[in-house]
Amino acid sequence: MKNARRTIPILLAFMLLFGTGAILPLAAYNLKAAFAPQPALLTSIGQSADVEMVKTLMTRAKLNFTMDPLVKAQALAGTNAKTLVIVIGGSSKGLGAAGISADAELERTKALLTEAKKRGMKIIGLHIGGEARRGELSDRFINEAVPSCDYFIVVEEGNKDGLFTKLCGNKIPLDIVQKISQIGEPLAAAFLK
Domains of the chain by residue range: 24-189
Per-residue pLDDT tens digits for 85-103: 999 998 889 888 989 999 9
Count CB atoms within 10 A of the CB of residue 65: 18
Distance (Å, rounded) from C-alpha 8 to C-alpha 33?
37
Question: In 148-163, which positions are buried (b, 16+ CB within 10 angstroms) versus exposed (e)?
Answer: bbbbbbbbebbbeeeb
Reported as a pLDDT band with limits 50, 70 and 90, residue 51 is very high
Of 8, 36, 19, the C-alpha closest to 126 is 36
Q: By three-state DSSP, how is residue 173 classified?
A: coil
| 118-127 average pLDDT score | 97
Residue 23 is predicted with a pLDDT of 41
Phi-psi bin for 183: left (phi > 0), alpha (psi -120 to 50), beta? alpha
Of 59, 58, 78, the C-alpha closest to 153 is 58
Residue 24 is predicted with a pLDDT of 43
Count CB atoms within 10 A of the CB of residue 78: 8
Per-residue pLDDT tens digits for 148-188: 999 999 999 999 999 999 999 999 999 999 999 899 999 99
More confident residue, 8 or 132: 132
Q: What are the phi and psi torsion angles at 22 (to 5°)?
A: -70, 160
Cis check for the bond before 39: say yes or no (omega within 30 of 0): yes
Q: By three-state DSSP, how is residue 154 classified?
A: strand
Reported as a pLDDT band with limits 50, 70 and 90, residue 134 is confident
Q: Count CA within 13 A, CB hemisphere, residue 79.
A: 25
24-189 maps to which CATH number?
A: 3.40.50
